[in-house]
């Protein structure tokens, strides 16, 4: 029953989406507002249908309806309920349906929340949103259907197994007990708390960028190329960016906890595929400010929106088609060709539309550039850095491997070695601009004024660098990195401090009130500074954990110790072949961590062996702000009762990455928080006097 409900609601969602496109375009063409209203309602209906379909699949997984092929492939009777819930996005079909449902929710929210303020753009926004949604619904219905069920063809000699949604003539359902017994279960790599949040956050980030893309297409299609589409999109860009950032951070944490290699970012092509839209999305966040404030970079902003969403679709194609192989290959399938064609069509159409509008002269800047030393020129440089990072990461992940395979008949991999050569100078430049740009003024600023603003952060940076040098930081690379990162962080702190002191002087209020009022009065500005502060703390963590990481691997007998940095790792005992409630077999080592002869922690690093044949290495970790002691029970050496092989990492300052991320997210929430600057009655009366479409014809 659930399979039928899910299947037919997905079909209805598709029909509603097609109707929405036709009705919206008819409405704008024939100047019939009722048709556009009807299209909006169809968007909401489509959303309800897809959410119902996703709920039906979720219930089927939780209720263990193993006749459904997807349920059979991602769950089994020994899996706890928590992982049954996360199994919704645990493989290709389910994650595509989940993706479609999230996309439909974003579409419905975008249309309803912007309905009054952006009536003229709406028909085109609806048409764009629904066109993309239809493609994903099509994938769910025709390529990766999560509602297919197992059937046994009783007419065939060998009782052939069929996989269809509806029962074929002469086919019977297989035995429930047999299906439950053979059910495969979720990939062990996905059985982690991080996987409960990481994929939904990533998907929310991806689908979130559809909304600004739809507004950009609508602006180009309608000819309303004023700042209306930017105003409507900015918050959506921030929301999408927030979710994508969260997704990337949680992905890093998952890798750190589950993949067992002591790191959080491996420059894996699939990780990079999610990083690419983040890079251009960050550039976009900055450049739309220039258009809002100065009426400049109109073409560039449209290009960035297109590039961001295009890279989302390309990343999805790369992740799910098998174009690149990685630890994420659990989501591979045969959607490559339709996905590639969709990506190409979408990008080509959007770029053609952009070039057409540009050739009409509708994208001219409203102001001219006055000085190299202005906020807009520094933001342009910031955009250059992000786009350069986008290019070098895209080239290393996809460009060079594909070029060499297509034209030189050779497979190559560009790994950490390549990325650590080409990205650090660009990241350094990014941090420098992050420090300097907020201090410059729109239009023009003088070198003396900029120097004066930078004086205090520079002094603080010099003091910090002296302290670091005296306390033993001796690498030139690390000193340069820390210097630049600290400078940008001190700029944010000093600017927040200036605002705070100014309020204190004027209002004579309590420090807490001054501080909160500062953020409440100008959330964009001070939220932005908090984001910069978070990025600074992440930078300190990245430099520490990358440049000063230590590792060793040794085989120890029971009672023996290995020494690394000023830590002693003592192997106490092993608990072999422990059987878990979910059926996996665990080898658990008991390890004591000592520092200066004193016991500071007891750890239980382990190896999990699943019935599917997969093995997981789960680290034991002693975490402090100073560093992580990360101990692995290594799998590639014989483990016996007498000896075991351990790989131990010391990851300095790695926890600053997670704490910095927390501050970054807090800053983004402050920046994106709705601020009702225009009373609703004014908005309503403005809506009534706004002219109807500019270029409907």
Partner 1 sequence: MRKTLQRLIILFALLALPVLALQAQDGGDVPIPPETVTDDQVNDIASQLYCPVCENIPLDTCGTTACDDWRYEIRLQLEQGYSEDAIITDFVNRFGDRVVGTPQDPVLRALSLVTPVVAVILGILGVVWMFRNWRTEDDTAVPAQQTVSTDDKYRALLESDIRG
Residue (355 or 625) nearer to partner 1, CB: 355
Interface stretch with partner 1, choices 60-68, 513-521, 593-601, 686-694 (CB under 8 A): 686-694
Q: Whose CA is closest to 99, among 50, 61, 42?
A: 50
User: Which of 410, 471, 474, 641 forms a contact with partner 1 (CB under 8 A)?
Assistant: 410
174 binds partner 1 (CB under 8 A): no
User: Which of 577, 678, 692, 695 forms a contact with partner 1 (CB under 8 A)?
Assistant: 678
Binding mask 378-397 for partner 1 (x = CB under 8 A): --xx--x--xx--xx--xx-
Residue 361: DSSP 8-state: T
User: Which of 5, 22, 44, 422 forms a contact with partner 1 (CB under 8 A)?
Assistant: 422
C-alpha to C-alpha distance for 84 and 322, rounded to whole angstroms: 26
498 binds partner 1 (CB under 8 A): no
158 binds partner 1 (CB under 8 A): no
The gap from C-alpha 667 to its chain's centroid, in whole angstroms, comes to 17
C-alpha to C-alpha distance for 546 and 537, rounded to whole angstroms: 14
Q: Please give the backbone phi and psi of residue 632, each rounded to the nearest 5 degrees, phi first.
A: -115, 135
Closest separation in Å from C-beta 271 to partner 1: 10
Binding mask 279-318 for partner 1 (x = CB under 8 A): ----------------xx----------------------
261 binds partner 1 (CB under 8 A): yes
Residue (367 or 507) nearer to partner 1, CB: 367
Q: Whose CA is closest to 475, among 423, 575, 528, 549?
A: 549
Q: Whose CA is closest to 482, among 532, 431, 437?
A: 431
Chain residues 556-595 in contact with partner 1, contact rule CB under 8 A: none
Chain residues 601-630 in contact with partner 1, contact rule CB under 8 A: 615, 617
Q: Whose CA is closest to 460, among 437, 441, 488?
A: 488
Q: Please give the backbone phi and psi of residue 442, each rounded to the nearest 5 degrees, phi first.
A: -65, 145
Do 32 and 26 touch, CB atoms closer than 8 A?
Answer: yes
403 binds partner 1 (CB under 8 A): yes
154 binds partner 1 (CB under 8 A): no
Closest separation in Å from C-beta 39 to partner 1: 22
8 binds partner 1 (CB under 8 A): no
3-state secondary structure of 576: strand
Q: Which long-range contacts (CB under 8 A, 24 or more apart) does 604-609 make?
A: 605/631, 605/632, 605/633, 605/646, 606/633, 607/633, 607/635, 607/639, 608/188, 608/580, 608/584, 609/584, 609/585
Binding mask 526-555 for partner 1 (x = CB under 8 A): -------------------------xxxxx
Chain residues 205-244 in contact with partner 1, contact rule CB under 8 A: 225-228
Interface stretch with partner 1, choices 40-48, 151-159, 407-415, 506-514 (CB under 8 A): 407-415
Residue with tokens 């004024």: 449
Do 308 and 284 touch, CB atoms closer than 8 A?
Answer: yes
Interface stretch with partner 1, choices 56-64, 211-219, 578-586, 633-641 (CB under 8 A): 633-641
Chain residues 647-666 in contact with partner 1, contact rule CB under 8 A: 647
257 binds partner 1 (CB under 8 A): no
């Amino acid at each position: 029953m659930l399979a039928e409900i899910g299947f037919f609601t997905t079909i209805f969602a598709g029909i509603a989406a097609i109707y929405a496109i036709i009705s919206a375009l008819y409405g704008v063409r024939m100047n019939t507002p009722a048709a556009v209203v009807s299209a909006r309602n169809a968007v909401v209906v489509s959303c309800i249908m897809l959410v119902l379909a996703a709920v039906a699949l979720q219930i089927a997984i939780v209720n263990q309806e193993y006749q459904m092929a997807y349920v059979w492939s991602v769950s089994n009777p020994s899996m706890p309920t928590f992982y049954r819930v996360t199994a919704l996005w645990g493989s290709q079909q389910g994650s595509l349906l989940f993706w479609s449902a999230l996309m439909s929710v974003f579409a419905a929210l975008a249309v309803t929340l912007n309905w009054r303020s952006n009536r003229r753009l709406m028909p085109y926004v609806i048409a764009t949103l629904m066109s993309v949604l239809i493609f994903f619904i099509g994938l769910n219905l025709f390529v990766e259907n999560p509602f297919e069920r197992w059937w046994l063809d009783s007419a065939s000699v060998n009782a052939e197994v069929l996989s269809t949604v509806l029962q074929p003539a002469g086919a019977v359902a297989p035995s429930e007990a047999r299906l439950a017994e053979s059910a495969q279960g979720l990939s062990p790599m996905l059985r982690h708390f991080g996987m409960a949040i990481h994929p939904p956050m990533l998907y929310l980030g991806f689908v979130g960028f559809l909304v600004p893309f739809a507004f950009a297409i609508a602006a180009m299609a309608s000819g309303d190329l004023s700042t209306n589409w930017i105003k409507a999109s900015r918050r959506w860009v921030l929301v999408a960016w927030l979710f994508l950032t969260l997704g990337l951070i949680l992905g890093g944490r998952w890798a750190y906890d589950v993949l067992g290699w002591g790191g959080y970012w491996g420059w894996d092509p699939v990780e990079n595929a999610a990083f690419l839209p983040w890079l251009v999305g960050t550039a976009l966040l900055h450049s739309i400010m220039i258009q809002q404030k100065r009426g400049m970079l109109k073409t560039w902003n449209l290009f960035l929106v297109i590039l961001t969403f295009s890279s989302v679709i390309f990343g999805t194609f790369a992740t799910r088609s098998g174009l690149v192989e990685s630890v994420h290959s659990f989501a591979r399938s045969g959607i490559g060709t339709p996905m590639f064609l969709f990506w190409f069509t979408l990008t080509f159409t959007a770029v053609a539309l952009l070039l057409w509008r540009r050739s009409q002269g509708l994208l001219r800047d409203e102001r001219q550039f006055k000085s190299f030393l202005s906020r807009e020129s520094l933001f342009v440089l910031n955009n250059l850095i992000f786009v350069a990072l986008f290019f070098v990461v895209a080239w290393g992940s996809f460009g060079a491997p594909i070029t060499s395979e297509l034209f030189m008949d050779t497979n190559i991999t560009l790994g950490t070695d390549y990325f650590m050569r080409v990205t650090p100078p660009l990241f350094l430049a990014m941090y420098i601009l992050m420090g300097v740009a907020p201090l410059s003024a729109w239009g023009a600023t003088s070198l003396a004024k900029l120097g004066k603003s930078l004086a205090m952060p520079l002094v603080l940076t010099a003091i910090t660098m002296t302290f670091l040098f005296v306390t033993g930081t001796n690498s030139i690379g690390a000193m340069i990195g820390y210097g630049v990162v600290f400078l940008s962080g001190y700029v944010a702190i000093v600017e927040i401090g200036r605002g705070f002191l100014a309020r204190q002087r004027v209002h004579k209020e309590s420090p807490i009130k001054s501080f909160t009022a500062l953020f409440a009065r100008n959330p964009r500005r001070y939220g932005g500074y908090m984001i910069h502060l978070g990025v600074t703390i992440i930078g300190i963590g990245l430099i520490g954990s990358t440049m000063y990481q230590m590792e060793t691997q040794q085989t120890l007998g029971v009672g023996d110790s290995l020494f690394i940095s000023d830590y002693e790792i003592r192997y106490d005992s092993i608990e072999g072949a422990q059987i878990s409630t979910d059926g996996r077999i665990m080898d658990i080592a008991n390890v004591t961590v000592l520092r200066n002869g004193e016991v500071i922690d007891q750890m239980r690093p382990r190896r999990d062996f699943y019935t599917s044949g997969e093995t997981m290495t789960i680290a034991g970790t002693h975490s402090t702000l100073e560093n992580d002691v990360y101990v692995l029970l290594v799998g590639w050496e014989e483990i016996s009762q007498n000896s075991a092989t351990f790989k131990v990492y010391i990851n300095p300052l790695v926890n600053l990455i997670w704490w910095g991320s927390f501050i970054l997210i807090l800053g983004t929430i402050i920046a994106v928080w709705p601020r009702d600057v225009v009373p609703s009655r004014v908005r309503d009366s403005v809506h009534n006097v706004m002219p109807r479409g500019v270029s409907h014809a």
